[in-house]
Amino acid sequence: MKLMIINGPNLNLLGKREPEVYGSTSFEDYFEQLQEKFPQVELEYYQSNIEGELIGKIQEVGFNYDGIILNAAAYTHTSVGIGDAVKAVETPVIEVHISNTHQREEYRHVSYISPGAKGVILGFGLQSYDLAIQSFLG
């Protein structure tokens, strides 16, 4: 099984940025833990702060991977383009969020990703990614 994790803006600052919301572990460190926990899965990871690059990566892997785990971060609530990219590809997408976006600002309650996603996992910290991988393993 081949899965791509795609992270959006500011997630490169995990471990440093608002640790009370996002924790103190960098995504790179957590990604190594995921690779150890799921050796049967070929996991890849991509992060960009640029909307068009995220769309490009979704289109690149969206026809030949078994799944995409997408945390579009703030673009979740603003990007029709990313939402359209998710709908345009054949690979199933699980939308993930580290925080429970419904406990946060009102504008974070709307997702342009969810209508095209296979499912949504939010509010479990970094474990949200773990749960997304498990969802693909059935």
99's CB contacts (< 8 A; 6+ apart) are: 21, 22, 122, 123
Outline where DSSP puts E strands in the chain.
2-7, 42-47, 67-71, 93-97, 119-122
- 78 forms beta bridges with none
Report the catalytic residues: 22, 97
